[in-house]
Amino acid sequence: MEELKNETVVTDVEETEVIEVNETLGRKNRKTFIGRVVSDKMDKTIVVAIETKVRHPLYGKTMKRTTKYKAHDEKNEATINDRVLIMETRPLSKDKNFRLVKIIEKAK
């Protein structure tokens, strides 16, 4: 059975695309995540939920963990349930350390 550790599981979007974003923007070693927008009620800010699969250290069961990040959305283009790519940036506020790079899939 395949061992899962504390790693983010990326589906549908290739990791090469994430690496290309860093290279085209001239950035090095910035964290990038793919997730779903769960809130867009704030001005120029979205809340993105990142789902990871983690193996329980004692019992071995695979569990889903969800982490929410606030991200800067300059043009207010993302809406709820959009799949987005966010990238780490300098602190923009107390809780906001990410920014929207692109919308991968619009909500239906």
Domain that holds residue 37: 15-105
**Distance of alpha carbon 82 from alpha carbon 107, whole angstroms:** 5
**Domain assignment present for 20:** yes
CA 58 to CA 92: how far, in whole Å? Answer: 38
pTM: 0.75
Size (the chain), residues: 108
Q: Alpha helix locations (H) across the chain?
A: 15-24
Residue 6, domain member (yes or no): no
Look at residue 101 and tell me if it is in a domain. yes
Give the closest residue to 57 by CA, choosing from 2, 5, 9: 5
Instruction: Give me the CATH number covering residue 48.
Output: 2.40.50.140
Q: Using one digit for the tens of pLDDT, what is the confidence trace for 42-97?
A: 999 999 999 999 999 999 999 999 999 999 999 999 999 999 999 999 999 999 99
